[in-house]
A = this chain, B = another copy of it.
């Protein structure tokens, strides 16, 4: 094999290595997202058959509506975060320490969602509701801050991106992540004033992110 062939070979090996690294990084993240989203089901409690009178099960299930609501809200939150994560990681060519650990922090907040969801389910309609919603909003805030950190790690000058990564998109994601911080702080503040206003704000916010993600996905495949 000639020297030039060897050098080509080396570049190819390095590129493949980067791709394999990134694939495993994504696969691990995907795994954590998929597991956390599925563990949400454990937050749905079954009314005990020893305390539910005949004909009362329907009522006993309906009275748990905050559980179903919290389940759906957190499901949507994790799903939309996954869609965004997924779209973003596509631009990656390699992974460095900052990205690995800021992503680790992001995953930590994802993993904590089933806990915050149970707190929300249990307390939304009680006098402790404001604290419960504030705790939930706090987790979404930390989630957003770690997303900002991940975004920082994606800065083109840090050279983790593919050569063909759309610089404009990467910049937009970073800017949006920063612009969202005040929204999350607002949600936290509103929660401390009134639990229902706080939770309505969070729901509206995630609905908006969902619509944005929907349009984004359509644009990518040329549907409008």
Contacts and interface: CB of A to CB of B under 8 A. Distances in A.
A46 interface: yes
A101 B210 CA distance: 9
A79 B104 contact: yes
Nearest to A80: B104
Given A34-B35, A39-B42, A108 B75 contact: yes
A35 B38 contact: yes
Given A41-B112, A95-B221, A118 B30 contact: no
A128 interface: yes
Interface string A164-200: 1000000000000000000000000000000000000
A28 B132 CA distance: 30
For chain A, the bracket of interface size reads: 35 or more
A123 B24 contact: no
A129 to B, nearest CB: 9
Contact of A28 (B30, B55, B76, B122): B30
A61 B223 contact: no
Contacts of A83: 100
A122 B123 CA distance: 23
Contact of A13 (B61, B113, B164): B164
Given A28-B30, A41-B111, A41-B112, 19 more contacts: A27-B27, A28-B34, A31-B35, A32-B34, A35-B38, A44-B112, A46-B118, A49-B122, A52-B123, A56-B128, A57-B132, A58-B131, A61-B131, A75-B108, A83-B100, A95-B221, A96-B220, A97-B213, A98-B214
Interface of A: 13, 17-18, 20-21, 24, 26-28, 30-42, 44, 46, 48-49, 52, 54-58, 61, 71-72, 75-76, 79, 82-83, 86, 90, 94-98, 100-101, 104, 107-108, 111-115, 118-119, 122-123, 126-128, 131-132, 135, 158-160, 164, 210, 213-218, 220-223
